[in-house]
Structure 1
Amino acid sequence: MEFESAQPSVVKSIKQRDLLNTWLRLYARNQSLPHIDEYQPERIEEEQPDLVYCTVDARQQPPRLTIQSDGTRMSSAYGSSGKGRYLDEYLGARLAPIVMPVYYECIARRLPAYTIANIDDVYGRIVAYERLLLPFSESDGVTHIIASLKTISEDGGFEIRNLMRGSDQLPIPKLRTIIDRELFHRVPGRIPSGDVLEFG
């Protein structure tokens, strides 16, 4: 599976960009993965329905990811809660081959991953599924991932229930990236050339 090199501006959602900027501030201090306990974005409570927390066991190959909590929106999209289950088993045989490589690349590169895929809801409306993966470490390598999952339809309303499992069609990948450029947090509203950087 091929991944494009990208900078943070590739992320479309303002809220996902805020989550990424908080990660970048922590990463920029030592150019190393932040500890998950340090990660405290503003208004994180508002984002919880879209967030999924996973632990990573990299002793196995490929790594095993266990869902520690899953947002209500993910539970609706997949038709059930995944808490306490291995992510690959929760996704199932149809979806795991196209979703798990994104998590594996995030783990291997130790950098954020951002993808967009198109999915049809049960009424045939096209829904863009935007996934941002943020890696964290408590020791060597990636030990945790926070996934932010956003669903947007140009048609306006759509049916999120069973979105990921209700169609015979698999999600169609539109963008697969690893965010590996401009790994710092740029202060908004300052010098247009971007000369002012924030590392704190």
Structure 2
Amino acid sequence: MDFESANPSVVKSIKQRDLLNTWLRLYCREQKLPRPEEYLPARLADELPDLVYYTVDAAVLPPRLTIQSDGTRMSNAYGHTGKGKFLDEYLGARLVPVVMPVYYKCIERALPVYTISNIDDLYGRIVAYERLLLPFSDGEGVSHMIASLKTISEDGGFEIRNLMRGNDALPTPKLRTVIDRDLFHRAPGRIPSGDLIEFG
């Protein structure tokens, strides 16, 4: 599945939209990737269970991502903690071809990437797995990344334990996007500078 071009409105979750807006505010100041230490969204503590922090070594091909922290949602979905491990080794051979291209695209484009995949839980209920990847830089290229992972089921309740490893079926990609359009943060009541009208 190819990656579509999208604007920030593609993100469904209000909380993920807030995370993206904080990233956009930093990005738009100088049109370059923010530094990881600058990123301090409101109510960050509430989101930590759904966040995973990575460092990125882009000097090797393919790039290597090291898990620096993993929220409880990721640990539950994959069955165990991954802190300190390479992401590709943590995922395992079955999931690498499905998951890693999303991270590589974020590094390649140095822009946010948003995806939705469907996966069945242990009881056969369909769960939508919404992933937002935000890139950061400490100088040259992408050096850090934050992933926000949300799960939702139209059936209501679902079992997150071993969600990613609990059955034989792989996640089915439903949407893959690079957020590369309308990359400005619209402050309330302000007109984006590109829309200013001159009167002569």
TM-score range, shorter chain: over 0.9
Shift of 1:167: 1.2
Which residue in the other structure is 2:8 paired with?
Answer: 8
Please report the TM-score for the alignment, with normalisation by the length of structure 2: 0.94
Q: For the residues of structure 2 that align with 1:186 and 1:153, how far apart are their CA atoms?
A: 31
Q: For the residues of structure 2 that align with 1:91 and 1:186, how far apart are their CA atoms?
A: 37
Q: Moved runs in structure 1, 4+ residues, more than 3 A?
A: none
Shift of 1:196: 4.4
- SS of 1:183 mapped into structure 2: coil
Which residue in the other structure is 1:99 paired with?
Answer: 99
Q: For the residues of structure 2 that align with 1:73 and 1:12, how far apart are their CA atoms?
A: 18
Once the two structures are superposed, residues 46-98 of structure 1 have per-residue CA deviations (whole angstroms, 9 ceiling, x without a partner) of: 00000000000011000000000000111000000000000000000011111
Which residue in the other structure is 2:18 paired with?
Answer: 18
Which residue in the other structure is 1:117 paired with?
Answer: 117
Q: For the residues of structure 1 that align with 2:162 and 2:186, how far apart are their CA atoms?
A: 38
Shift of 1:142: 0.1
Which residue in the other structure is 1:152 paired with?
Answer: 152
Counterpart residue identity of residue 176, structure 1: R
Which residue in the other structure is 1:76 paired with?
Answer: 76
Once the two structures are superposed, residues 110-140 of structure 1 have per-residue CA deviations (whole angstroms, 9 ceiling, x without a partner) of: 0000000000000000000000000000010
RMSD: 1.0
Q: For the residues of structure 1 that align with 2:41 and 2:54, how far apart are their CA atoms?
A: 18
Counterpart residue identity of residue 20, structure 2: L
Q: For the residues of structure 1 that align with 2:110 and 2:72, how far apart are their CA atoms?
A: 27
Q: For the residues of structure 1 that align with 2:187 and 2:129, how far apart are their CA atoms?
A: 28
Which residue in the other structure is 2:49 paired with?
Answer: 49
Gaps of 5+ in 1: none
Count of aligned positions: 193
Which residue in the other structure is 1:33 paired with?
Answer: 33
Gaps of 5+ in 2: 194-200
Counterpart residue identity of residue 111, structure 2: L
Shift of 1:187: 2.6
Q: For the residues of structure 1 that align with 2:33 and 2:139, how far apart are their CA atoms?
A: 10
Counterpart residue identity of residue 134, structure 1: L
Which residue in the other structure is 1:165 paired with?
Answer: 165
- SS of 2:40 mapped into structure 1: coil
Q: For the residues of structure 1 that align with 2:131 and 2:186, how far apart are their CA atoms?
A: 22
Which residue in the other structure is 1:127 paired with?
Answer: 127
Once the two structures are superposed, residues 158-195 of structure 1 have per-residue CA deviations (whole angstroms, 9 ceiling, x without a partner) of: 0000000001100000000000001111234x47xxx3
Shift of 1:2: 1.3
Q: Percent identity?
A: 76
- SS of 1:150 mapped into structure 2: strand
Counterpart residue identity of residue 133, structure 1: L
